[in-house]
């Protein structure tokens, strides 16, 4: 039986959408060095950022548990 973790989303119900722009603050750094921002708890990886950066991003892709974006 499939059970859904409360912290997971489908791409359809994620609080961000591909192609949309958002103002975010980078809160953490991922293992591979990308900055981590969160919108409503949903993780967005942003390359070329560091903790404390406040940037405008555009979402490139939305997955089940995270999104990938870039600075605009």
Reported as a single tens digit per residue, the pLDDT across 35-67 is: 999 999 999 999 999 999 999 999 999 999 999
pLDDT for the residue 50: 97
Could you give all domains of the chain from N- to C-terminal order, each with its CATH number?
A: 21-71 (2.40.50.140)
- Under a CB-based contact definition with an 8 Å cutoff, are residues 60 and 18 in contact? yes
Going by pLDDT thresholds of 50, 70 and 90, the confidence category of residue 2 is: very low
3-state secondary structure of 46: strand
- Pairing between strand 28-29 and 35-39? antiparallel
Predicted structure pTM score: 0.84
- The predicted pLDDT at position 8 comes to 66
Q: Could you give the CA distance from residue 72 to residue 55 in angstroms, rounded to a whole number?
A: 8
- Under the banding of pLDDT at 50, 70 and 90, the label for residue 7 is low
């Amino acid at each position: 039986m499939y059970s859904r973790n409360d912290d997971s989303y489908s791409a359809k119900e994620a609080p961000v959408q591909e192609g949309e722009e958002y103002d975010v603050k980078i809160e953490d750094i991922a293992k591979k060095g990308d900055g981590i921002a969160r919108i409503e708890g949903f993780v967005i990886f942003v390359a070329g950022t560091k903790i404390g950066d406040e940037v405008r991003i555009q979402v490139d892709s939305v997955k089940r548990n995270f999104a990938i974006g870039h600075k605009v």
